[in-house]
Structure 1
């Protein structure tokens, strides 16, 4: 994977830096300049800080979009009672699903964020999910592959995503947006899609500690040669499917 290759390149560059700063070879001058290692560690910290800051901006943007931004239009109500709204973004529709899940807010955050690699075990719409790089306790970079949707009309897509979660005003929010392909090269036979700013906003329900309200913001460009009308119909169905599998998983968790 490219992120491993990138790290290897950094190590080689660091080694060259140290070699260039050796004193003439002698018993008294065999040790490299320790400041080189300090510089390398600073570089790594700066890169992590940059990713953290980008993720924080996505989180703030999706918080505003989900909680305060007007202009949402009703698309449908699912058989499970989820309401799906949409609004026009710069180049495509942005969707928001609002529903209820019978799990505490913190436990749902655990399932959707911290246990992201376990999602394919309970959700057949996700073929693969892995954490590529952990930035800090709240921020990481993940890789997901979706299964075919819309009866196979839309083939598998994959995403490289920068994510961050936070607790804001009594709510949990887990935000995400596509990031550089350098962390995972494109795979043969899978179209690399793009995720715009999206999030899960998980809110408590008064007097119901074992339930929560969820809002799921999705801004996705599936790429490939797909009619926009087909995509706009397929995405709400995919959101409904995900919620159906999530609720089935939650019933299993509550039965343990």
Structure 2
């Protein structure tokens, strides 16, 4: 019965094999490797339609598939680990000091980690549910430049499943940008636990995308955003953002420590404008 199902599946999918990418090919390869493993253990006879002779071509395909799977696992683990490490930082109670308090109620705290790096935790309330913010900040990430003038572009370079992305971000050359133009190569990972949404990130490596000429490649992470509904207003969210960034370059650290909380305030302001525009459009229909 299993043999017949496998024949049917292969007959159906053959025309589409050339168009498969990413995890689809990896899943197909893993399926084939599992069949081979069962056959070697004697749990499944080798079907007559599977070639017995290995060739250089099949070995090369297996090597490429193995490298693809290893790369995906690397990015997935990197994103998961970054999120867990960032949560340990943001949820720790020791060492936080008030950095700034805005009139609208937004508050930013700072803390110095080992290595003398200063991180910043912004807390705010936003007029959107965690699900809506998850959609804007993760699944529609490439649209961020449309509402945030601090971003020139964000490109998703790779999808690892539904909840992990490899992205390239380039900041804008805007007036008042004390840090200057930077680019970031990052792994971003999202996780939903009960009513909370967690977005984690960390810098990563990709040999095919070296730093851009004339732009400093900064590093971030581990960093995270936590989204959860207010107790009496499920349509509104508590927004907690840990910013942990090394701007690189020849900037005085005092200047960077002044610019980063201001960048958080500006980002949150632009996000509110984006939500207001979205709510206005929704009320129109």
TM-score range, shorter chain: 0.7 to 0.9
**How many equivalent pairs are there?**
229
Residue number among 201, 212, 222 corresponding to 2:237 in the alignment: 212
Q: 1:129 touches 1:145 (CA, 8 Å); kept in 2? A: yes
Residue number among 55, 61, 78 corresponding to 2:102 in the alignment: 78
Cα distance in 1 between the residues matched to 2:55 and 2:209: 36
Deviation for aligned residue 1:92: 1.4
2:203 paired with 1:203: no
Q: Which has the larger radius of gyration?
A: 2
Structure 2 unaligned regions, length at least 5? 1-21, 23-52
Q: Deviations over 1:19-39 (max 9, x none)?
A: xxxxxxxxxx99755354234
Cα distance in 2 between the residues matched to 1:33 and 1:237: 55
C-alpha root-mean-square deviation of aligned residues, in Å? 2.1
Give the 3-state SS of the residue equivalent to 1:80 in structure 2. Answer: coil
Q: 1:131 touches 1:142 (CA, 8 Å); kept in 2? A: yes
Give the 3-state SS of the residue equivalent to 1:129 in structure 2. Answer: strand
Q: Deviations over 1:165-203 (max 9, x none)?
A: 001343100000011152521111211111121011111
Deviation for aligned residue 1:115: 0.7
Deviates more, 1:31-40 or 1:152-161: 31-40
Structure 1 unaligned regions, length at least 5? 1-6, 8-28
In structure 2, the residue matched to 1:19 is none
In structure 2, the residue matched to 1:185 is 210
Deviates more, 1:214-223 or 1:37-46: 37-46
Q: 2:190 touches 2:198 (CA, 8 Å); kept in 1? A: yes
TM-score (norm 1): 0.83
Cα 1:156–1:167 change in 2 (3 A) is same
Q: 1:132 touches 1:183 (CA, 8 Å); kept in 2? A: no
- Larger RCO (CA under 8 A, 6+ residues apart): 1
Q: Deviations over 1:87-127 (max 9, x none)?
A: 00123100000001100101101100111100000110111
Structure with greater proportional strand content: 1
TM-score (norm 2): 0.75
Cα 1:30–1:200 change in 2 (3 A) is closer
